[in-house]
Chains A and B, each alone.
Chain A
Amino acid sequence: MNPGRRQLRLSRWLAAFILFLGVFPLPARAHTAINGMGEFVSGLIHPLTTPSHVLILLGLGLMIGQHTPMELKTPLRVFVPLSAVALLLTTTGFITAVHQSVLVGIALVAATLVALEKRLPPLAAGVLFAAAAIAIGLDSVVPPGVTQGVMKTLLGTWVSLVVVLLDVAIYVSFCSKRPWLKVGIRVLGSWIIAISLLVLAFSFRR
């Protein structure tokens, strides 16, 4: 089979699987938000309700999916393990939060690459994904509690981080054949740049 076609088929299966994962927690909606919600689901939701994390995941996802053939090795080899390590480090209590300007700065770099439609060399891409994984992971501190509950929350956050990143990347990669969608991705990148610049200005004012 043609390698490109095989990759497309693989991407579609991955997207379907990730979509399934996204749909799976739906029954949890019967519970009240956060309060009383299972720790795992609470962890799943955390990156989606933290705007700076959303910006980074969106920026990196757009960056991965924008180029063909899609390069998933670096995110899988760097982002997945380092985000897990950073999440586990939060249990030590040494770091309680990451400064928002750091998070927004990472989103700014990713979004600039998206808007310019530039691909980073593997080493630089690895550094960017590592920085993003560590920053988001360390910024996802769970309040102290029963160890099992904390670990469940962190596991949920980790699954969510990986799923959202890959989900965005895979769906964006489907857009690569339509020129106007590629333009839309660059426009989205420029929006993230604008948001990041404003937030950085805010953080320096304070």
Chain B
Amino acid sequence: MKRPSAAISTLLCLLLGFVVWLPVNAGAHTETGAVGGVISGFKHPITGLDHFAAMFAVGLWGAFLGGRAMWMLPVVFPVVMAFGGALGVLGVPLPAVETGVAVSGVILGLMVACAIKPPLWLAAVIVGVFAIFHGHAHGTELPEAANALAYAVGFVICTGLLHLAGIATGLLVRWPWGRITVRAGGVAIALVGLGFLFNFL
């Protein structure tokens, strides 16, 4: 496998730092207008540990699978999630949404933990199916008064950055200790999913 340049690693690390840093800084401001909409949308995916873990897992799994999967999964997820979000916004019912969200953490975490490498199309389908649940859950929770466009911008950027944070962590697999770390991350994500599935969290 070709070694990624130092620039990619630096960029991904900066993005990871950005994800961690931004919400703290934004908390000092009041949320009004378009900026408030962006901040509100940005905060939405990271306020739920189940969503956070699953979105991080998508990036982690993509990097773990390597090759085209590294970018295809993070492309599929937000697009299908937006479709699910649209269903939620429009009030189209979807059964067992919260269960689906929790199961997504379990399955995606186990995929990484057990180092399962299915064909790319199957991985994309798995990620896509779970993305609908996540999108629907977010869509039904979207505030009525939010500036739709600003909210969507913040929401999608945050989701994408969570994927990138997962990819950045997943790139550690090139080292033996990194591979163990990434698989341990998968275990942690699966445990979070189980916690939500059985209402421990």
**B residues within 8 A CB of A205?**
89-91
**B residues within 8 A CB of A180?**
4, 8
- B82 touching A198, Cβ below 8 Å: yes
Residue of A nearest to B86 (CB): A201
Chain B contact surface mostly = helix
**A residues within 8 A CB of B142?**
202
**A residues within 8 A CB of B149?**
51-52, 55, 100, 104, 195, 199, 202
Minimum C-beta distance from A143 to chain B (A): 19
- A191 touching B150, Cβ below 8 Å: no
The interface-forming segment of A9-17, A20-28, A130-138, A182-190 is: A182-190
A45 interfacial by beta-carbon distance below 8 Å: no
Given contacts A180-B4, A201-B86, A201-B90, contact A194 B150 (CB under 8 A): no
Complex formed: what's the CA distance from A101 to B85 in Å? Answer: 16
**B residues within 8 A CB of A100?**
148-149
Residue of A nearest to B71 (CB): A183
Chain A contact surface mostly = helix
Cβ proximity bits A164-206 to B, threshold 8 Å, 1 near / 0 not: 0000000000000000100100110011011111111111110
Residue in A190, A202, A203 whose CB lies within 8 Å of B78 = A190
Cβ proximity bits B128-165 to A, threshold 8 Å, 1 near / 0 not: 00000000000100100000111111011101100000
- B81 touching A203, Cβ below 8 Å: no
Minimum C-beta distance from B138 to chain A (A): 9
Residue of A nearest to B138 (CB): A198
Minimum C-beta distance from B142 to chain A (A): 8
Give the size category of A's interface with B.
20 to 34
Interface size on B, residues (CB 8 A): 32
A115 interfacial by beta-carbon distance below 8 Å: yes
B173 interfacial by beta-carbon distance below 8 Å: no
**B residues within 8 A CB of A193?**
78-79, 82
Complex formed: what's the CA distance from A191 to B158 in Å? Answer: 10
- A194 touching B71, Cβ below 8 Å: no
- B82 touching A195, Cβ below 8 Å: yes
- A198 touching B148, Cβ below 8 Å: yes
Minimum C-beta distance from A43 to chain B (A): 19
Complex formed: what's the CA distance from A68 to B142 in Å? Answer: 40
- B82 touching A194, Cβ below 8 Å: yes
Interface hub of A51, A186, A198, A202 (most chain B Cβ within 10 A): A198
B114 interfacial by beta-carbon distance below 8 Å: no
Complex formed: what's the CA distance from A190 to B79 in Å? Answer: 6
Complex formed: what's the CA distance from A193 to B8 in Å? Answer: 24
- A198 touching B155, Cβ below 8 Å: yes
- A190 touching B86, Cβ below 8 Å: no
**A residues within 8 A CB of B86?**
197-198, 200-201
- A191 touching B156, Cβ below 8 Å: yes
Chain B residues engaging chain A, CB cutoff 8 angstroms: 4, 8, 34, 70-71, 74-76, 78-79, 81-83, 85-87, 89-91, 139, 142, 148-153, 155-157, 159-160
Pairs A-B, 10 closest by C-beta atoms: A201-B86, A202-B148, A194-B82, A197-B82, A198-B152, A201-B89, A194-B78, A190-B75, A183-B71, A195-B152
